[in-house]
Amino acid sequence: MANIKFSQFTSQSDYNNVDALVGYNGATNVRIAPGDVINSWNGEQALIRLSNNTGGTTSLISIGQSGNTSTVVNLLGSDSSYDIKNFNAIRYNGTGWGIANNNIEVDTTSSKVTSYLPTFQIGDGTASTVSLLGQCAAGGNFELSVLGDQVFNVSPGSDLIIGPSDDITIFNGSGIIVASVIEFGNTIKDSNGASGLNDSMLVSLPGAGSGVFWKNPADNQFIGYKSFQKFTWTNGNPVGYTNWSSAVASYLPFDPTPVIQQGTYNGLGSSADHAWTCVNTAGGTAGQVATFTLGANGDGTWKIRTCQHWFDQTNQVEMRVSVIGTATGGLKIDIIDQKSTELTGDKIFYGELVQKVEGGDDLQIEVEFTVGGVTPFPSDAGNRPIEITFEKII
């Protein structure tokens, strides 16, 4: 038995340096090893409460030491949780984990993570870069699905597939394929940020990385622009009808304003640059001669047609209609050479020429009654006057 006062005992901070603690159990003197005190006390506690009743202070529980290689807190119950303010922070029930009051569940049996929160946010808007990393083995797939429908699917180093029916495939560094119908509800802009005009086409320029641009079809050598014009000679416009002497060739006049003029010149310039203009000058049997000139940007292949409507005062009339000018290389090219054996009356003759024409070239229409006929004159009976049309082929 100790023979000194308690105040004279040597103080210890490590219970391993104490063989026994002594005390009373009623009238009986007892002793117990320090380790047994700890183990028996822990085994009896269903609830351990550490609290501080002083307002405004912080309660601190420290487990382990900073020098330890590992610290383990082992919850032994079959359905155990770590709670904060009576809400499960972490819970394990033997088959899966619950996090944040079971709003996120991790099923260890199916290796599935389920979140019952409607919003999943990464970052708080202050970071310059936020990354969502999904890693799988080479040859495997990382897939995001919603209610069983694929949103995207990607294999490491391979293609990215988007949509429930593999609607879009982005090949690894070699392009994109869209397998479904595309509907555009707004403006489509090209590589320069420009919007297309009416009748424009989105085309790819040659050369890798050249991009796509809105172009008028006229800029495509395989399409070109479209142009159609119709000029007529009506009685009094530009001059009145007059008798035509037999065996005397003369050029025709035409109203300089076309009765039809349509073309896809939008974005290219005016019709004067890409179609034909008509100018009359003094001369010829009718007193006026029409010269047609192609605009400077009108290079291409043109179809030139004419309808010749004349009143034959006798019969057996034969007529020749030719075109001549720089558009024909200076050659006089016949487009009508026809004889009518019908009796006196209105007669209509048709002819056409397909010709490669350069911008700035000109053209005139010459008529000659070579055989028969007594002073034929132009006719517009049935509202069909003499006409000439120009149609751009390519």
For residues 350-355, give the mean pLDDT: 95
Element housing 42 (H / E): helix 34-44
Lowest mean pLDDT across 39-48, 91-100, 104-113, 236-245: 39-48
Pick the more confident residue, 211 or 42.
211
CB 233 within 8 A of CB 377: no
Distance CA 210, CA 27 (A): 102
Give the pLDDT confidence score for residue 42 in this predicted structure.
66
Q: What is the pLDDT of residue 24?
A: 86
Over the range 208-234, which residues count as b (16 or more CB within 10 Å of their CB) and which as e? eeeeebbbbbbbeeeebbbbebbbbbb
Alpha-helical regions (H) of 261-391: 271-274
pTM above 0.75, yes or no: no
Where does the pLDDT of residue 342 fall: very low under 50, low under 70, confident under 90, or very high at 90 and above?
confident
- Mean per-residue pLDDT over the chain, rounded: 84
Q: Which two tokens stand for residue 313?
A: 């005062």
Q: How many CB atoms lie within 10 A of CB 315?
A: 15
CA 298 vs. chain centroid, Å, equals: 33
Split at pLDDT 50, 70, 90, the class of 152 is confident
Q: Residue 156 and residue 180: Cα distance in Å, rounded?
A: 25
Domains and CATH numbers, the chain: 80-112 (no CATH), 142-178 (no CATH), 189-220 (no CATH), 227-392 (2.60.120.40)
pLDDT confidence of residue 367: 93
Distance CA 144, CA 104 (A): 18
**pLDDT band for position 148 (cuts 50, 70, 90):** confident
Q: Does residue 258 surpass a pLDDT of 90? A: yes
